């Protein structure tokens, strides 16, 4: 039986050329796998036909948008996942889902190898290969661009020589990866970190400096899951899509940052994530009134580690799975509504309400109706500061000088 290689297929030049090239170099048949995670562009049937026309023996296309939103974006929302406190894991979230479909196709079609189009400089090579090892350690991985110095110029020449049905003359000055959770842009003139992004970098957002009327939105959560916007029920995917449009219209979710890649280099990235940033803002605001203080403090520590694990390609690791359980437990009382104003590049919370709220008006108010017993505070302050007071007395005694 002829060996088979499963190729992560995007429908673009590099992976289309990769079908024939891998077949020639390895003698194996190529099964192309394309996964729709809300990146837009061509429909799946056109991508499937192109893969077959380029020489794939099978072409698998999967509409995984709801799966991505519910099983990958939602956990990131509940974990308040922001790498380096800014990046909402746009590409990092989609890779384990794609890996899952690649491994499934490899088992279905009897493949021994999985191929991807990543370079040796980026994080995605790690995310793909570590994920594949975790789900199917018997599979081998190859990366033609990284392993065999496969350049774009070689890809264009190969496509022309073999008369492949793909466009080879146009090239974006940027490297772009996108899904429903956001859009990542790099390379080109952005590699000079002094150069400011220009408007044609952006596609999900409009210029926040352009005057327009504010948009008020109310997001309802149940147990940490966004379930309604302005009173109409939504799925997780619909919540992201609607806020991508509404927050994007106000330029919300634009990020320009130099981030620390897993491979050890710094990289300048421009991100757009309007729906993600709006949902993260609303979710955090609701947590502030429904999650107990010590749980919230520890959850922030868990969130940072959870985010690092996902960024570093360890979605399927035992630690990440254990942290998933903690995050899910922390969402038990995150139910209620948050009102936000979308305007001028910001999603600003202006109201919050919840039947599970820990906010007690009687304890918080300084006006009539105050139920807080201020007489309890004096003893509390004395006991709270007692260890520091004892340590200060010791320092004076031992050193003979005041601190």
- Express each pLDDT in 62-96 by its tens digit: 999 999 999 999 999 999 999 999 999 999 999 99
Residue 401 is predicted with a pLDDT of 63
Residue 162 is predicted with a pLDDT of 80
Which residue ranges form the domains of the chain, and what is each CATH number?
4-171 (3.40.50.620), 176-291+333-353 (3.90.1260.10)
Per the annotation, the verdict on 95 as an active-site residue is yes
Catalytic position from the list 4, 14, 268, 330: 14
The answer to whether 106 is a known ligand-binding residue is no
pLDDT tens-digit readout, 240-273 = 999 999 999 999 999 999 999 998 999 999 999 9
What are the residue ranges of helices labelled H in 312-372? 318-330, 361-364
Per the annotation, the verdict on 94 as an active-site residue is no
Catalytic position from the list 124, 220, 254, 312: 124
* Residue among 227, 230, 216, 246 at smallest CA distance from 331: 227
The answer to whether 127 is a known ligand-binding residue is yes
**For strand 215-222 and strand 225-229, is the pairing parallel, antiparallel, or unpaired?**
antiparallel
Residue 93 is predicted with a pLDDT of 97
Residue 403 is predicted with a pLDDT of 56
Q: Which residues in the chain come in under a pLDDT of 50?
A: none
The answer to whether 82 is a known ligand-binding residue is no
The answer to whether 321 is a known ligand-binding residue is no
Residue 171 is predicted with a pLDDT of 61
Per the annotation, the verdict on 161 as an active-site residue is no
The answer to whether 163 is a known ligand-binding residue is no
Residue 168 is predicted with a pLDDT of 54
Per the annotation, the verdict on 352 as an active-site residue is no
Catalytic position from the list 50, 95, 299, 352: 95
The answer to whether 360 is a known ligand-binding residue is no
Contact 280, 80 (CB under 8 A): yes
Catalytic position from the list 66, 146, 175, 288: 175
* Residue among 163, 96, 115 at smallest CA distance from 7: 115
Contact 110, 29 (CB under 8 A): no
The answer to whether 12 is a known ligand-binding residue is yes
Percent of the chain surpassing pLDDT 90: 79
pTM: 0.93
The answer to whether 117 is a known ligand-binding residue is yes
Residue 1 is predicted with a pLDDT of 63
Residue 182 is predicted with a pLDDT of 97
The answer to whether 9 is a known ligand-binding residue is yes
């Amino acid at each position: 039986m002829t060996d088979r290689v499963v190729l992560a297929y995007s429908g673009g030049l590099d992976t289309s050329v990769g079908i024939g090239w891998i077949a020639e170099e390895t003698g194996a048949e190529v099964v192309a796998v394309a996964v729709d995670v809300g990146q837009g562009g061509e429909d799946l049937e056109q991508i499937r036909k192109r893969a077959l026309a380029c020489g794939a023996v099978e072409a698998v296309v999967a509409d995984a948008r709801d799966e991505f939103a519910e099983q990958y974006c939602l956990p990131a929302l509940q974990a308040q996942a922001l790498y380096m406190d800014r990046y909402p894991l746009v590409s990092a979230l989609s890779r384990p889902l794609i890996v899952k479909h690649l491994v499934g196709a490899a088992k279905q079609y009897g493949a021994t190898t999985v191929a991807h189009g990543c370079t040796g400089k980026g994080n995605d090579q790690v995310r793909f290969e570590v994920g594949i090892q975790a789900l199917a350690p018997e599979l081998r991985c190859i990366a033609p661009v990284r392993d065999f110095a496969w350049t774009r110029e070689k890809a264009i020449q190969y496509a022309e020589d073999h008369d492949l049905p793909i466009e080879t003359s146009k090239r974006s000055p940027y490297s772009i990866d996108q899904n429903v959770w956001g859009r990542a842009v790099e390379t080109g003139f952005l590699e000079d970190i002094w150069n400011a992004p220009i408007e044609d970098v952006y596609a999900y957002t409009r210029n926040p400096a352009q005057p327009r009327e504010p948009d008020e939105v109310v997001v309802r959560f149940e147990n940490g899951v966004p379930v309604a916007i302005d009173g109409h029920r939504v799925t997780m995917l619909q919540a992201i899509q609607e806020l991508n449009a509404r927050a994007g219209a106000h330029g919300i979710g634009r990020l320009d940052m130099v981030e620390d890649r897993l491979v050890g280099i710094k990289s300048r990235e421009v991100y757009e994530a309007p729906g993600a940033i709006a949902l993260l803002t609303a979710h955090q605001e609701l947590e502030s009134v429904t999650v107990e203080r010590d749980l919230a403090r520890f959850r922030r520590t868990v969130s940072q580690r959870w985010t690092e694990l996902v960024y570093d390609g360890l979605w399927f690791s035992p630690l990440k799975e254990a942290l998933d359980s903690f995050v899910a437990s922390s969402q038990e009382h995150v139910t209620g509504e948050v009102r936000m104003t979308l305007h001028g590049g910001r999603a600003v919370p202006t109201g919050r309400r919840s039947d599970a709220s820990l906010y007690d008006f009687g304890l918080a108010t300084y006006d009539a109706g105050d139920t807080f017993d201020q007489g309890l505070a004096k003893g509390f302050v004395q006991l709270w500061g007692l260890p520091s007071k004892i340590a200060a007395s010791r320092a004076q005694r031992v050193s003979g000088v005041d601190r």
